[in-house]
Every structure is written in structure tokens, then in C-alpha cells.
Amino acid sequence: MTEITSDGWPRPVHRVAFLFAMSAEGTGFARRLGLEDQGSLDSSLPAHWLKGRLAGSDGGSLEVAVGFAGTDPDHGVDRIGTVPAALAAHLLIRRFEPDLLVNAGTCGGFKVRGARVGSIYLGSKAFLFHDHRVPLPGFDAFGVGRIEADHPEELLEVMDAEPGVISTGDSFTPCAEELEFFEREGVHAKEMEAAAIARLARDHGLPFLAVKAVTDLVDHPEPEQEAFLRNLERVSASLGERLVRLLDWLGTRT
Ligand code: SAH
């Protein structure tokens, strides 16, 4: 039986599920763990998953699932963004019944707040939506989300990560209003999935972590798109290495 500790984190974790938006972000990680392909998460959708069992340090074991939103059949690219991420996460939770859900991937960082390409952020304080502008009573706050973000303090050291406010939206390039939002809210990581998955994890009563590695700097003159494509592979490999450290840490608690 999984018990929930006073800090709200399950101990031990027996089943951890990772969700990636892009195949390039998580395929190397899944391969490195030797996970087996489980095929599609739903016969109507491109979302798919892999799973396997890892040995814990003191005789226990950890089951690991890795899910992807999959490739869009009409456009031939990864189904990035909030809707496919939440759908895939929901299906993965139903199939695998994890006791911890992790959204891992890449993000845009902010030089003014100390980010470098390769910096790793662990979502803390709150998950925000920067592109849900709904100026109606109640819906304005629902739009921004401000979904509670928390993590075991120890993980910052274990993963060599920094705590960061993560903000989600469905566009890659920011508009002026969004740039103002990032400053006002002190956003560290701008990406396209975490807040949607955080809300879903909350619906399921599941502990949730977001681990995001910086591929591009939003406030740096080099166009984000070029930096993103140049750094994607290298940064994803280093992200995978930090996720293995997370699994090792969870393995010592089985
Ligand atoms: N042209 C790219 C698409 C990358 S989209 C390609 O097809 O290779 C960006 C994806 O990486 C999203 O899943 C998002 O979560 C993350 N991401 C990385 N940097 C980002 C940024 N600066 N803004 C928004 N999302 C970013």
C-alpha cells in the first residue's frame, strides 16, 4: 500500500508515469530504461505508451510508464500543446494507474531570471496559463489557472534542478501581452503542456511534478525557433539523465 506522508508525497512510489509532448524529448529516455512498447493509448488517437519494471535498491521494484501524445496524422509532426497532452495524460492514468505523474520536456527560459540553455526547472509555486485571457468575473482566475505546484525539497539537489514558475500556452512565439505576463508573474519556464496536465493530475488526486529543460531563451536576441531546434537533442539527453536520477531516488524509497 502506498502511504501519503505528511508533506503530501506518496512513499513509496510504486508506479510512476512520465508524459512527453515530443518524441525527440522522451524516446531516448524510454529506450535507456529498456521499456517495452505498449502500442496505442486509444484506438482513435495517435497517443501511445511504453512500460517496464525497474529494480529498487532494497528488493522493491518500480513500474515506469512513458506516454506520448503522438504524431498528428494530417501534419506529420508531434501533437504538442495542451489538449493532446491532457487527453494522453488522462488515458495514461486510466490505463496505468500511477501513483506519481511527471510531465517532462523542454521549455523556453529567461536570461533575466538566470536561465541558460540546459537549465532544468522543477515546477514550483504555481502552474499558470499565459494565453487564457478571459476578462469575466471568475473566469479570469480560472483562465490563468494558478494551479498549486509543489515538490519534495530534496529533489532539487537530487536532480540538480532549480525551482521555477512554469507557464503554459498553445503558441510558441509570445505576443506583447504574454511578455508582460512573464515579467509580472516572474515566470521561469515557458512551455505548452504543464499547466493542463497539472489540472488533470489535480482532478485525479495525483501527485504531479513538471521537469522542464531550457532549449531556448525567450529574452535573447537569437530567434527561439532556431535555438530550439539546435539544442533539442542535446538538452533532451541531459533531461533524460536527470529523470534517471529521479527514478534512482524513487527506487531508494520503494
Ligand atoms: N518546431 C518544433 C516545435 C517545437 S514546439 C519542432 O517541431 O521540432 C515546442 C515544444 O517544446 C512544446 O511541446 C513546448 O512544451 C516546448 N517548448 C520548448 N521551448 C518552448 C518555448 N520557447 N515556448 C513554448 N514552448 C516551448
- 202-246 confidence digits (pLDDT tens): 999 999 999 999 999 999 867 667 777 788 889 999 999 999 999
197 falls within a domain: yes
Question: What average pLDDT does the structure give for the chain?
Answer: 94
* Residue 67 phi, psi dihedral angles, 5° rounding: -115, 150
Q: Identify whether 4 is part of a domain.
A: no
Q: Taking a C-beta distance cutoff of 8 angstroms, is the pair 67, 19 a contact? A: yes
- The binding-site residues of ligand 1, defined as CB within 6 angstroms of any ligand atom, are 21-22, 77, 80, 105-108, 172, 190-193, 215-216, 218, 224, 228-229
Is there a domain that residue 7 lies in? Answer: no
Average the pLDDT over 8-35 and give the result.
92
151: its cell numbers: 515538490
Question: 204: domain CATH number?
Answer: 3.40.50.1580
**Within a domain: residue 84?**
yes
207 located within any domain = yes
| pLDDT score of 2 | 63
Q: Which of 191, 193, 216, 224 is an active site residue?
A: 216
24 domain-assigned: yes
**Out of 25, 78, 191, 224, which one is annotated catalytic?**
25
CA–CA separation, 69 and 20 (whole Å): 7
Residues 57-115: tens digit of each pLDDT: 777 899 999 999 999 999 999 999 999 999 999 999 999 999 999 999 999 999 999 99
Domain range for residue 137? 12-250
- State the closest ligand 1 atom to the C-alpha of 85, by its place in the atom list counted from 1: 13
How many domains are contained in the chain? Answer: 1
Catalytic residue at 3? no
Query: Is there a domain that residue 2 lies in?
Result: no
170 as an active site residue: the answer is no
Residue 3 lies in a domain: no
Supply the pTM of this predicted model: 0.94
